[in-house]
């Protein structure tokens, strides 16, 4: 089910869509990952963001951003369509995230790769960032969860979205919104 502003058809879920394991919402389009590893896209297609590549299979994760879509395949490679391009040779990826105009990839070795729009430093990965287990991308900021439960954020900070509370070290999940960041914290 979808609701809200539907000027671009992003809430018009295709009839008969079933067996969905995850969903992703871009600015004006939507994605669904089916349990057979295929992707369905709908909504605005101004940049080709709903033109799922023919033959795309074995997808394990999806992400939707401004006018682009990303898919992570089971072999650790990333496929994009719309107004983005994946860095040549990107492999060994375990997670992906899509922001307003930038993208993040978490690699098997716990490091992060960022590319795309960098108007606010959202792709300037902090030096020495390692042991990352999750990534998320907001409109113009990026967030990483480390294996020790700490969080690192960088990029635009006009609303304090990169101000991690001091002493916070029991985080189990992160999600970056447009201009904010959410975290699940395990109580002691």
Q: CA 72 to CA 20: how far, in whole Å?
A: 16
In this predicted structure, the answer to whether residue 1 has a pLDDT above a threshold of 90 is no
Tokens encoding 113: 């790769």
Of the listed ranges 89-93, 112-116, 167-171, the least confidently predicted one is 167-171
Beta pairing partners, 186: none
In this predicted structure, the answer to whether residue 11 has a pLDDT above a threshold of 70 is no
In this predicted structure, the answer to whether residue 3 has a pLDDT above a threshold of 90 is no
Nearest-5° Cα angle at 179, 138 to 77: 0
């Amino acid at each position: 089910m979808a609701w809200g502003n539907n000027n671009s058809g992003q809430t018009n879920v295709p009839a008969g869509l079933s067996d969905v394991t995850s969903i992703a919402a871009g600015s004006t389009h939507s994605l669904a990952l089916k349990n057979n590893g295929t992707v369905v896209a709908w909504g605005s297609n101004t940049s080709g963001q709903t033109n799922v590549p023919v033959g795309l299979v074995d997808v394990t994760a999806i992400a939707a951003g401004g006018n682009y879509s990303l898919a992570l395949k089971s072999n650790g490679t990333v496929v994009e369509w719309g107004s983005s391009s994946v860095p040549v040779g990107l492999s060994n990826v375990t997670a992906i995230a899509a922001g307003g105009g930038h993208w993040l990839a978490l690699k098997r070795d716990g490091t992060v790769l960022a590319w795309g729009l960098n108007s606010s430093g959202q792709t300037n990965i902090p030096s020495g960032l390692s042991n990352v287990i999750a990534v998320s991308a907001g409109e113009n900021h990026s967030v990483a969860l480390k294996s020790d439960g700490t969080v690192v954020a960088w990029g635009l900070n006009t609303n304090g979205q990169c101000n991690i509370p001091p002493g916070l070290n029991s985080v189990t999940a992160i999600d970056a919104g447009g201009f904010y960041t959410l975290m699940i914290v395990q109580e002691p």
